[in-house]
Amino acid sequence: MKHGARPRATIALTALLAACVTLTACGGGNSSEAAAETSAKPPVKEPVKDPIVATYDGGLYVLDGATLKVAEDIPLKGFNRVNPAGDDRHVMVSTAAGFQVMDAVGRRLTDVEFKGPKPGHVVHHAGRTVLFSDGTGEVTVFDPADLGGTRPRTTTYDSAAPHHGVAIQLANGELVTTLGTEEKRVGITVLGKDREEITRSEECPGVHGEATARGEAVVIGCEDGVLVYRDGAIKKVKSPTKYGRIGNQAGSDESPVVLGDYKKDKDAELERPEQVSLIDTESGTMRLVDIGTSYTFRSLARGPHGEALVLGTDGKIHVIDPETGDTTKKITALGSWQEPLDWQQPRPALFVRDHTAYVSDPSSKKLLAIDIESGKRLASTELPTAPNELSGVKTH
Are the C-beta atoms of residues 60 and 53 closer than 8 Å to each other? yes
CA distance 357 to 373: 10
Question: Given pLDDT bands bounded at 50, 70 and 90, which one contains residue 45?
Answer: confident
Residue bearing the bigger pLDDT, 93 or 24: 93
Cβ neighbours of residue 169 closer than 8 Å, sequence gap 6 or more: 125, 126, 128, 130, 141, 175, 176
Handedness of CA 68, 69, 73, 74 (dihedral sign): negative
Q: What is residue 18's predicted lDDT score, i.e. its pLDDT?
A: 38
Q: SS3 for 380?
A: strand
Q: Is the pLDDT of residue 250 over 50?
A: yes
Tally of CA atoms within 13 A in the half-sphere of 131 that contains its CB: 33
Q: How many CB atoms lie within 10 A of CB 25?
A: 12
Amino acid letter for position 281: T
d(Cα 52, Cα 219) in Å, to the nearest integer? 27
Task: Provide the pLDDT for residue 43.
Answer: 64
* DSSP conformational letter for 222: E
H/E run at residue 19: helix 8-23
pLDDT > 70 fraction of the chain, expressed in percent and rounded: 89
Residues 126-135, mean pLDDT to the nearest whole number: 97
pLDDT at 41 over 80: no
Q: What is the pLDDT of residues 260-291, one digit of tens each?
A: 999 999 999 899 999 999 999 999 999 999 99
Neighbours of 18 (CB within 10 A): 10
Q: In this predicted model, what pLDDT tens digit does every residue of 223-234 receive, in sequence order?
A: 999 999 999 999
CA 146 – CA 144 distance, rounded (Å): 5
Q: To the nearest whole percent, how much of the chain has pLDDT over 90?
A: 85
The mean of the pLDDT values for the chain is: 90
pLDDT value of position 128:
98
Q: 21 pLDDT exceeds 80? A: no
**Per-residue model confidence (pLDDT) at position 38:** 40
What is the phi/psi pair of residue 314, to 5°? Answer: -80, 0
- The helix (run of H) or strand (run of E) holding residue 390 is strand 390-392
Q: How far apart are CA 125 and CA 223, in angstroms?
A: 25
CA–CA gap between residue 95 and residue 74 (Å, rounded): 14
Q: Tell me the residue ranges of DSSP E strands in 333-376.
A: 350-353, 356-361, 366-371
DSSP state of 4: T
Q: Which residue has the higher pLDDT, 25 or 302?
A: 302
Coil, strand or helix: which one is 112? Answer: strand
Residue 396 has pLDDT above 90, yes or no: no
In the chain, the amino acid numbered 323 is E
What is the per-residue pLDDT across 323-351, written as a single tens digit (0 to 9) for each? 999 999 999 999 999 999 888 889 999 99
> Model's pTM, two decimal places?
0.88
Cα–Cα distance between 276 and 286 in angstroms, integer?
A: 10
**Residue 282 confidence (pLDDT):** 97
Helix (H) or strand (E) holding 20: helix 8-23
Q: How far apart are CA 264 and CA 294, in angstroms?
A: 13
pLDDT at position 15 over 60: no
* pLDDT in the model for residue 252: 97
Give tens-digit pLDDT for 73-114: 999 998 999 999 999 999 999 999 999 999 999 999 999 999
Region 45-51 average pLDDT: 94
8 Å CB contact between 332 and 357: no
